[in-house]
C-alpha cells in the first residue's frame, strides 16, 4: 500500500521539505520556510494546485513546520487532506560520527547520540535536532527517521580516516576524517551504475559534488573508501567561501596578526571569506566568477583555475587508490550545470587516464539532464547525474517505517 513520506532538511533558520508518494518516489509537493525567528520570515510551496508564497512572523521551527503543513493541506489541490496521511518523516542529519552506519529510527538513544556530536557539527546538528523535535510534536506517533550525511563514508579504511596526529587524540576526541555529502555521493554512484548497466557493488567511480560546498569521494565496489572533507567540511576542495586544503601552519602564522586577534577570526576567514570569494574578490557564486573571468578579471580567472586544478588533482589521486576507474561523476549546482567547468576539469586527463569529453554531449547535459558525456574513445565514462538527496532519504524512510533494515554501508 502506498505511503506518503515527508522529508525535512532543517537549517538554523530554514526548513526545506518534500512530500513523496512511496514506493513510487513521486514528489507530491515541496517547499521552503526561511528566515525563521525573524519578523520577515517567508514561505514558498509548490504542488499540483500551483504555488503558494507569503511572508509572516515565524518564531521557531515548530511554527515553521505548522506553516508547511498548512500549505500541504490548504492548496487548491492539496497534497494531503489531513496530517494523519503522513506515515513517516525523514530527516537529514549532517553528523552521525562513528555510531551510525546507516539511516535509523529516531529513539531517545539516537537523539542523545546526535546531541553528543553537536561540537563536531555546531552549525548543523542542533537545527537538525530541532526539526526532529518539532516534527515529533506536530506528528506524535509517526515514525521519525534520521538519515546521516556521514554514514556513507563509514566504510573508509583506517588508512584513509586516521590523521597522522598522536593516536590518543583520535582515541580521546574522535578526531578523524568523517566526510560529508554522503547521501549525495551514494545516490549519484548508485544512479550512474544503473545508467551504465552495472551492479552497484561492481562499480568504481570518483564522485564530484560541486556546489557552494564541494566534496569528492572515491567509490570502490559501491562503497566510499576516501573522501575530501575531513573532521569538518572545511578540508578538501576549493568551495564558494571555504579554503579547502591549506598548510595548517598558516593558522599559527596568522594568529595574533592585527586582522586576526582570535582563533574565531581565523575560523571565520577560512570558512566564510575564502574559496572562490576570497581569491576572486568577486563572489562565491561560480556563475559570477566565470563572468568576471570572461571579462578579463585576472583574480576571477585565477579562482576558476585553482578550483578546477584542485579537482583534477583529486581525480588523479583517487584513480590511484581504486582497483579500476569506471566513471567520473559530476553532480551539484556547478557539477550539473556548468559544462565549461566540467570541460576545464577533465582537460589534460586524456594522456594519463584516458578520460576525454564529447564537447557536444557535455554542453547539452545541463539543467536536470543526465547521461554519459565522455567521448567515444574515452577509457572512462564521464557522467552527469543530478543529485536527489531527498529521494534517497525518502527511500530509507519508507523502508525503515515498514520495519525493513536499511544500511547505507550496504
Catalytic residues: 149
Q: In whole angstroms, give the CA distance from residue 206 to residue 213.
A: 17
Integer distance in angstroms from the first to the last C-alpha of the chain? 26
Take residue 103 and report the three cell numbers written for it.
Answer: 539511516
CA atoms within 13 A on the CB side of 362: 22
Biggest CA–CA distance in the chain, Å, is 64
Look-up of cell digits 576507474: 325
Burial class of residue 291, CB neighbours in 10 A (0-12, 13-18, 19+):
middle
Helix, strand, or coil (residue 94): coil
Helix, strand, or coil (residue 343): helix
Question: Hey, CA dihedral for 267, 268, 274, 275, is it positive or negative?
Answer: positive
Helix (H), strand (E) at residue 318: helix 298-321
Q: What angle do CA 154, 134, 138 make, to 5 degrees?
A: 125
Take residue 344 and report the three cell numbers written for it.
Answer: 576545464
Helix, strand, or coil (residue 205): strand
Q: In whole angstroms, give the CA distance from residue 356 to residue 342.
A: 11
Question: Hey, CA dihedral for 99, 101, 103, 105, is it positive or negative?
Answer: negative
Take residue 227 and report the three cell numbers written for it.
Answer: 573522501
Show the DSSP H helices in 79-181 as ranges: 108-116, 125-138, 158-161, 167-173
DSSP label at 40?
T
**Residue pair 195/384 in contact by the 8 Å Cβ criterion:** no
Amino acid at each position: 500500500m502506498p505511503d506518503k513520506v515527508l522529508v525535512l532538511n532543517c537549517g538554523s533558520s530554514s526548513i526545506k521539505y518534500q512530500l513523496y508518494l512511496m514506493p513510487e518516489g513521486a514528489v507530491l509537493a515541496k517547499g521552503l520556510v526561511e528566515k525563521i525567528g525573524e519578523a520577515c520570515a517567508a514561505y514558498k510551496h509548490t504542488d499540483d494546485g500551483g504555488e503558494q508564497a507569503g511572508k509572516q512572523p515565524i518564531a521557531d521551527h515548530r511554527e515553521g513546520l505548522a506553516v508547511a503543513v498548512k500549505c500541504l493541506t490548504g492548496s487548491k489541490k492539496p497534497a494531503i487532506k489531513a496530517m494523519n496521511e503522513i506515515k513517516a518523516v525523514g530527516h537529514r542529519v549532517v553528523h552521525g560520527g562513528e555510531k551510525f552506519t546507516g539511516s535509523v529510527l529516531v529513539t531517545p538513544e539516537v537523539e542523545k547520540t546526535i546531541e553528543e556530536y553537536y561540537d563536531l557539527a555546531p552549525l548543523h546538528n542542533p537545527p537538525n535536532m530541532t526539526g526532529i523535535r518539532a516534527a515529533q510534536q506536530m506528528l506524535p506517533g509517526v515514525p521519525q527517521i534520521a538519515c546521516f550525511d556521514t554514514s556513507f563514508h563509514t566504510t573508509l579504511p583506517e588508512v584513509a580516516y586516521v590523521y597522522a596526529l598522536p593516536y590518543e587524540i583520535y582515541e580521546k576526541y574522535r578526531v578523524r576524517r568523517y566526510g560529508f555529502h554522503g547521501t549525495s555521493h551514494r545516490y549519484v554512484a548508485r544512479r550512474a551504475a544503473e545508467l551504465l548497466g552495472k551492479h552497484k557493488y561492481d562499480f568504481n567511480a570518483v564522485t564530484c559534488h560541486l556546489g557552494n560546498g564541494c566534496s569528492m569521494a572515491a567509490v570502490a565496489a559501491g562503497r566510499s573508501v576516501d573522501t575530501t572533507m575531513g573532521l569538518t567540511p572545511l578540508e578538501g576542495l576549493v568551495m564558494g567561501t571555504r579554503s579547502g586544503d591549506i598548510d595548517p601552519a598558516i593558522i599559527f602564522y596568522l594568529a595574533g596578526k592585527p586582522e586576526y586577534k582570535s582563533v574565531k577570526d581565523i575560523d571565520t576567514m577560512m570558512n566564510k571569506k575564502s574559496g572562490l570569494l576570497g581569491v576572486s574578490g568577486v563572489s562565491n557564486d561560480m556563475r559570477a566568477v566565470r563572468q568576471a573571468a570572461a571579462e578579463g578579471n585576472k583574480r576571477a580567472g585565477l579562482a576558476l583555475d585553482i578550483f578546477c586544478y584542485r579537482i583534477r588533482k583529486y581525480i588523479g589521486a583517487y584513480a590511484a587508490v581504486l582497483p579500476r576507474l569506471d566513471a567520473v561523476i559530476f553532480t551539484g549546482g556547478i557539477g550539473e550545470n556548468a559544462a565549461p567547468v566540467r570541460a576545464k576539469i577533465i582537460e589534460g586527463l586524456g594522456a594519463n587516464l584516458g578520460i576525454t569529453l564529447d564537447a557536444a554531449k557535455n554542453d547539452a547535459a545541463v539543467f536536470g539532464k543526465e547521461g554519459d558525456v565522455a567521448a567515444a574513445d574515452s577509457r572512462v565514462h564521464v557522467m552527469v547525474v543530478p543529485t536527489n538527496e531527498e529521494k534517497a532519504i525518502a527511500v530509507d524512510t519508507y523502508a525503515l517505517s515498514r520495519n525493513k533494515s536499511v544500511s547505507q554501508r550496504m
